[in-house]
Amino acid sequence: MSDLARGGKQKDNAVLEVRRRLATWDSIIVLLTVFVLVVASFSVTNFGTSRNFTFMILDLLPIVLVALPMTFIIVTGEIDLSVASTLGLASSIMGYLWNQGLSIESIIPICVVVGAVLGAINGFLVTGLGLPSLAVTIGTLALYRGLAFVVLGDGAVADFPFTYTGWVTGTIGDGPVPNVLVLILVLAAIFGVILHATPFGRSLFAIGANAQAAHFSGIRVARTKFWLYVVSGAVAGLVGVLWTLRYSSARADNGAGLELAVVAAVLLGGVSIFGGKGSLPGVLAGVVLLAALQNALRLQDVSGQALNIVTGALLVLSVLLPNIATSIRTTWQRRKLRRAATV
Amino acid sequence: MTATATAPRHLLSGLVKVRELGIILALVLLVGYTAASNPRFLSGQSIRDILLNTAILAVMAAGQAVVVITRNIDLSVGSVLGLSAFTVATMMSDNPGLPMVVAILVGLAVGGAAGVLNGVLVRYGRVPALVVTLGTLYMFRGVTYSWAGGQQVNADELPRHFLTFANDAVLGIPWLVLIALVVVGGVALLMRNYRVGRELYAMGSSPQAAELAGIKVARNLLGAFILSGALAGLAGVLFAARFGTVDAAAGTGLELNVVAAVVVGGVAVFGGSGTVWGAGLGALLLTVIGSSLTVLDINQFWQQAIVGALIILAICADRLVAVRIARSLRKKDSHV
């Protein structure tokens, strides 16, 4: 009898565990992403083709790469809205240096370093002077984009060598798998391992959950945040290079507004805007969901600007829905407790 | 004992004055330098242009200041301006007989509705204002684009009385400037002298304390977002009347200038301090900087970079002041 009861209880626990796992936002988002992909490939013409797959990967390339360090920053409870402007400034500098006759091999590391320096400025203002990251990065959003226009004006530089532009848009062995997918997978794996399997990754969650407690348990909060901004800037600089090569065009307004898509994807992936919560697989699913939705709508001739309604709405919903779910759960629990009390 | 109690208050009010004096000083220096190198900068037409351009920014900055004082932010104002400008321009070109008052009321209503959406999501959805208004920034702009497509409303499709409104003057002051003065003055008075204004400051200083003190936080917060939205809508009407040509891109990126005007004007991003009056001065300073660049023949592309640098400079200054106040308070405490 007692054995039976225990077995039943264990089974109950297992069911609860599975239900708890399934009910977390990241797994919901993964399932939703799979659902959207399946539905779209059956109902949207040309969605499931290998050619479209290539284009989708190229479209999500800038979002996913910038989203990796952004996940780290948001997990620590900060934000970086200047990434798209850093990308634009890197692109401008790339065009300027190419016009000056430098080789691509030397331009690429310069752009990444420029990105890192721009990130370090953000990091210094946030951690060195203790300013709020939201206000700082709104300021540098305007500053870096403005400098991008100062460097290159409103013209474009377009004559980049095919060896490089071709690599970014090309596929492995002329198959459907784009070259850049390798880059995405390698970087995602590195960031994923760091966040979920190292003490450093755990310390990021600790900082986001309670920066003061993290400080008192020996985590160097300011130094960690500073380096996160440097990495964020460096990645944005690299993406500026990739963006320029993909469209074979260096322009000051490259990537304008990308910060919205990135923040939307990260929040959609279950990272809490208040810090301390989130997972990298969730973020990757968020990026794919966003890209798949946009791609499917575009195939049905929805204009690019109208797509912004979807991105904007997803951004709001990604925070709103978990909040609603939590408040429903608490009212439900309260009612259950009240019922238990009256019995 | 009384001395230590009153000293910090004197210090604080002194610093606030210093902040606005600082902007006025910067304005005087900038205008003086520019006028010295090109006297035409002080011609009637040039001053008129500066005031007309300031008017639209100042109206939006007044609403934004109120939202920032409650420790929130409204990034959707540029898109609200675009939506309102396109709505009103389309309406006026379809019904040329409508009086100006109707245009203004429709603009206020469109903006107010946008503000309701923002406010409800922030307060009842418990979504941070940054996320909400970043989302609605793109949603409102997307709505305008899918409605307008590639088309625009041209000046020759608009009724004359609508277009001349921007330049018509009462007692030598253009309507646009008059409206801006009334808005900034009115909101400043509301924030300074009325109960609801002081409650908004209290909410910004400490949201929890305000709630515990029995302030109707939900109503006030909703009101702040509706005010910001409605004023952005009003700015849309003024924009359409001033420029005559309106397309779906009207006011893109303007939110940065509005936030810059507010922050430069001394409204702290942590909420709870700063004045609407200062935000108006910030708007004037930004516009004068833009005009000076043109007159001094400096690359126009510098303007956005300067806006960004000013935002950062202003938050650094606020931080410095806060640190200094904290230090001086601590010093006083240790002497007692």
Determine, yes or no, domain membership for A16.
no
Burial of A94 (0-12, 13-18, 19+ CB in 10 A): buried
- Asked whether residue A8 is domain-assigned, the answer is no
CATH of the domain at A148: 1.10.3470
Q: What is the mean pLDDT of chain B?
A: 86
**A272, A323 in Cβ contact below 8 A?**
no
Minimal CA separation from A245 to chain B, in Å: 24
The larger pLDDT score, comparing residue B324 to residue A120, is at A120
- Answer left, alpha or beta for residue B214, where phi above 0 means left and psi between -120 and 50 means alpha: left
A199 found inside a domain: yes
Report CA dihedral (B313, B317, B319, B320) to the nearest 10 degrees. 130
B5 within some domain: no
Residue A290 lies in a domain: yes
Using a 10 angstrom Cβ sphere, with 0-12 exposed, 13-18 middle and 19 or more buried, the burial of residue B266 is buried
> Which candidate, B254, B304, B261, places its Cα nearest to that of A143?
B304
Cα distance from B184 to chain A (closest Cα, Å)?
23
pLDDT digits (tens, 9 = 90+) for B60-103: 999 999 999 999 999 999 999 999 999 999 999 888 888 888 99
Phi-psi region of B120 (alpha: psi -120 to 50; beta: other; left: phi over 0): alpha
* Short-list B3, B5, B51, B112, CA closest to B288: B51
User: Which helix (H) or strand (E) element contains residue B264?
Assistant: helix B254-264
Question: What is the torsional sign of CA A257, A262, A267, A272?
Answer: negative
Give dist(CA B77, CA B85) in Å, integer.
Answer: 12
Please give, rounded to a whole number of angstroms, the shortest distance from the CA of A206 to a CA of chain B: 21
Neighbours of A196 (CB within 10 A): 13
Domain count, chain B: 1
Question: Does residue B2 lie within any of the structural domains?
Answer: no
d(CA B127, CA B57): 27
At A198, give phi and psi (nearest 5°).
-130, 155
Q: What is the distance, to the nearest Å, from the Cα of residue B52 to the centroid of all Cα atoms in its chain? A: 15
pLDDT band at A47 (very low <50, low <70, confident <90, very high): confident
Residue A158 belongs to some domain of the structure: yes
Kindly identify which residue of chain A lies nearest to residue B261, measuring between CA atoms. A139
- Name chain A contacts of B303, Cβ cutoff 8 Å: 146
> Amino acid identity, residue B55?
A
Residue A236: pLDDT above 90? Answer: yes
d(CA B31, CA A53): 57
CB contact under 8 A, A316 and B142: no
Contact call for A309 and B142, based on CB within 8 A: yes
Question: What mean pLDDT do residues B283-290 have?
Answer: 90
Which structural domain range is residue B314 located in?
12-335
Q: Is A105's pLDDT higher than 60?
A: yes
Cβ–Cβ < 8 Å for B216, B202:
no
**Separation of alpha carbons B105 and B119, rounded Å:** 20
Q: Per the CB < 8 Å rule, is A138 touching B311? A: yes
More confident residue, B198 or B17: B198
Instruction: Decide: B241 and B102 in contact? Cβ < 8 Å.
Output: no
Say how far apart CA B133 and CA B139 lie, in whole Å.
9
> What is the model's pLDDT at position A1?
43
CB-CB neighbors (< 8 A) of B249 in chain A: none
pLDDT digits (tens, 9 = 90+) for A51-91: 888 889 999 999 999 999 999 999 999 999 999 999 999 99
Residues of B in contact with A316 (CB under 8 A): 121, 125, 127, 131-132, 135-136, 139
Contact A126, A230 (CB under 8 A): no
Q: Is the predicted pLDDT of residue B172 greater than 90, yes or no?
A: no
Q: Is the pLDDT of residue B6 over 70?
A: no
Residue B3: inside a domain: no
In a domain? residue A248: yes
Q: Can you give the pLDDT at residue A64?
A: 96
More confident residue, B281 or B296: B281
- B2 pLDDT tier (thresholds 50, 70, 90): very low
CATH number for B159: 1.10.3470
Please name which of A64, A58, A77, A79 lies closest in space to residue A33, comparing C-alpha atoms.
Answer: A64
In a domain, B4, yes or no: no
Which residues in chain B are closer than 8 Å to A145, comparing Cβ atoms?
A: 304-305, 308
Task: Answer whether residue B59 is part of any domain.
Answer: yes
Task: Give the DSSP H/E element, type plus range, for residue B49.
Answer: helix B44-69
- Sign of the Cα torsion B47, B52, B53, B57 reads positive
d(CA A144, CA A249): 19
Least confident of A104-113, A156-165, A178-187, B322-331: B322-331
Number of separate domains in chain A: 1
Q: Does B252 touch chain A (CB under 8 A)?
A: no
B309: which chain A residues are within 8 Å (Cβ-Cβ)? 139, 143
* Higher pLDDT among residues A184 and B328, named by residue: A184
- Map residue A252 onto helix, strand or coil: coil
Residue A27 is assigned to a structural domain of this protein:
no
Q: Is the pLDDT at B3 greater than 50, yes or no?
A: no
Alpha helices in chain A (DSSP H): 2-23, 25-43, 50-75, 83-99, 104-123, 133-152, 162-169, 179-197, 199-209, 211-216, 221-247, 258-268, 280-299, 304-342
pLDDT at A12: 65
Q: Determine, yes or no, domain membership for A135.
A: yes
- Enclosing domain of residue A154: 55-342
pLDDT bucket at A20, cuts 50 / 70 / 90: low
Q: Which pLDDT does position A7 carry in this prediction?
A: 52
Interface check B326 vs A, CB under 8 A: no
